[in-house]
Amino acid sequence: MNILILGPQASGKGTQAKAISEKLDLLHIESGELLRQKAKTDEKLRQILNSGALAPNEETVRIVDEFIKNEGRGYDNLIFDGFPRTADQYGLFKSWLKEKGSRLDKVVYLEVRDSISEERISSRRTCKVCGNVYNLITNPPKNGDKCDCGGELIQREDDLPETVKKRLDIFHTQTEPILKLAQEDGVLIKVDGEKSIAEVTSDILEKIS
């Protein structure tokens, strides 16, 4: 089963994708993290991401494809987090999977109000060492202001207040149209993303089973 998980910023996509991947033994493909790693050595890409804009389609597909090949698990039993993010990307994404002899089975949409997203984003912290993501409200670190690995927690540049509105605007104008396409494809599942992490995971598993 291949799953795409969608939702506005700080809706819990990464947290839920990780949980579902562990429950169903799926390869978690976090395109945002893959792009951020690439951006460390690519100044142009870093500027794009820090501005809150979306990375180029071809670059994202190439990085995702490279990651899957390196994992050696093929193109089935995957959960995609962060890509595709536009209707054009969705079409490209389905064509790419078809070329690989695979398909998209479910699109899970985490419904979260903008006000909740903004509150969560302002409280999100990322480990500078291992990349683990925490939320000071919904998923705080156990070690106070440190990651479980002991690393320093920082606020990503694309989580700063001045980029939050732009990112939410992009989500509503460019990502939400995917929902209509997924509905037409008969693969859309909507889940209340404002519940507790455990409750959201349970709801997703129940609806995709």
Q: What is the pLDDT of residues 122-135, one digit of tens each?
A: 888 999 999 888 88
**What's the total number of domains in the chain?**
1
Distance CA 102, CA 117 (A): 33
pLDDT class of 204 with cuts at 50, 70, 90: very high
Q: What is the pLDDT of residues 93-120, one digit of tens each?
A: 999 999 999 999 999 999 999 989 888 8
Residues, the chain = 209
Q: Look at residue 125 and tell me if it is in a domain.
A: no
Average pLDDT score over residue span 35-61: 82
Q: Which of 46, 146, 156, 195 is catalytic?
A: 156
pLDDT at 34 over 90: no
Which of 36, 38, 125, 167 is catalytic? The answer is: 167
Residue 158 is assigned to a structural domain of this protein: no
Instruction: Specify the pTM.
Output: 0.79
Contact criterion met (CB below 8 Å) for 127 and 152:
yes
Set 36, 106, 120, 124: catalytic member: 124
CATH number for the domain including 48? 3.40.50.300
In a domain, 28, yes or no: yes
Does a structural domain hold residue 54? yes
Task: Indicate whether 59 belongs to any domain.
Answer: yes
Is 89 inside a domain boundary?
yes
Q: Indicate whether 171 belongs to any domain.
A: no
Instruction: Please indicate whether residue 107 or residue 37 has the higher confidence score (pLDDT).
Output: 107
Residue closest to 10 by CA, chosen among 104, 136, 127, 131: 136
Look over the chain and give the mean of its residue pLDDT values, rounded to a whole number.
Answer: 90
Instruction: Tell which wins on pLDDT, 54 or 83.
Output: 83
Distances (CA, A) of 78 to 39, 97, 104, 119: 24, 11, 9, 30
Residue 51: is its pLDDT beyond 90? no
Please pick, among 36, 38, 85, 106, the residue that the annotation labels catalytic.
85
What pLDDT band is residue 67 in, cutting at 50, 70 and 90? very high
Residue 50 covered by a domain: yes
With bands split at pLDDT 50, 70 and 90, how would you rate the model's confidence at 58? confident
140-193: pLDDT as tens digits: 998 888 999 999 999 887 777 777 788 888 899 999 999 999 999 999 999 999
* Residue 156 annotated among the catalytic residues of the structure: yes
The answer to whether residue 124 is catalytic is: yes
Domain range spanning residue 69? Answer: 3-113+176-208
